[in-house]
Amino acid sequence: MAISNQIDKEKLPRHVAIIMDGNGRWAKRQGKNRVFGHRQGAKSVKEIVRAAGEMEIDYLTLYAFSTENWSRPKLEVDALMSLLVSSINSETKELMENNVRLLSIGNHDILPKNVKKKLYEAIDQTKNNKGLTLVLALSYSAKWEIIEAVKKIAQLAVNQEIKIDEIDECIIDKNLSTHNIPHPELMIRTSGEFRISNFLLWQLAYAELYFTNKLWPEFGKEDFFEALLDYQNRERRFGKTSEQVEHKI
Ligand code: IPE
Ligand code: IPE
Ligand code: MG
């Protein structure tokens, strides 16, 4: 039976987050430069966005560029930025056709002006779409995001808009860049690395983690469905016992 038919549509995660890793290694294996790998990686993005839409997943967050990635060679950073602009140019039409709403999280103040402009134009153009919400984590780091939230909450306390004792999970959630977005139930990382690399540290607190050796440029629809199927076979206990989960007590 085709893998997509084995998936129970009633038991899908609402939000899947992906660390798209391995473009450089993939390119090296082909005897090509790293930028070639990133271009191929953009094709995987297209395929996985389609696959998530097909499965009627509500939110897909893709880690496209981390704060730490700014320290890569300038040539690679520049190439990634122009790839981003050209992808937005070529893909916005398909996002509209497929009813995809684009959002982005991260420190956008340090993005090149033209990138920021393009990004916000696409976000604005797709803002009323009601299908999949595609969140690009761009110039993003979870520690940066948490620091920003702490600053905002401290300001609320200084302004006496909240009391220190009122600070709870809900207030922290509201002050993260992912406010209004449910936490991911499933996080996928490609390329055989077993780490989080400063991605959604707060939001992944109870996510199921799925690691695959496939490099991002070779990660396709079937691999995505495989991860969803694996997720469905896990028991999410949230601290309870297996018996409690089984009997819903
Ligand atoms: C992921 O692939 C893409 C970005 C981080 C932008 P890498 O470029 O990290 O590829 P590897 O890890 O060097 O193979
Ligand atoms: C994580 O990949 C960031 C993105 C996928 C955008 P990296 O390749 O930068 O991660 P590390 O540095 O190997 O952990
Ligand atoms: Mg990498």
Nearest CA to ligand 2 atom 6: 65
Which CATH number applies to 22-232? 3.40.1180.10
> E strands, the chain, where?
15-19, 59-66, 101-105, 133-140, 186-189, 208-211
Ligand 1, residues at Cβ distance < 6 Å: 20-25, 65, 69, 80, 191, 216
pLDDT digits (tens, 9 = 90+) for 40-82: 999 999 999 999 999 999 999 999 999 999 999 999 999 999 9
Say whether 109 is catalytic: no
pLDDT at residue 249 greater than cutoff 90: no
Structure tokens, 110 = 């340090």
The overall pTM is greater than 0.95:
yes
Say whether 98 is catalytic: no
Catalytic annotation, pick one of 33, 58, 69, 107: 69
Q: What is the residue extent of each domain of the chain?
A: 22-232
pLDDT at residue 1 greater than cutoff 90: no
| Mean pLDDT, residues 198-209 taken together | 98
Strands of 133-140's sheet, edge to edge? 101-105, 133-140, 59-66, 15-19, 186-189, 208-211
Mean pLDDT rounded to a whole number for the chain? 98
Closest CA to 238 of 210, 206, 201, 200: 206
* Measured distance CA(96)–CA(49) in Å, rounded: 13
| 21 Cα nearest atom in ligand 2 | 5
pLDDT at residue 221 greater than cutoff 90: yes
pLDDT value at position 169? 98
Percent of the chain scoring above 70 in pLDDT: 100
pLDDT value at position 228? 98
Backbone angles phi, psi at 61, to 5 degrees: -105, 125
pLDDT digits (tens, 9 = 90+) for 75-106: 999 999 999 999 999 999 999 999 999 999 99
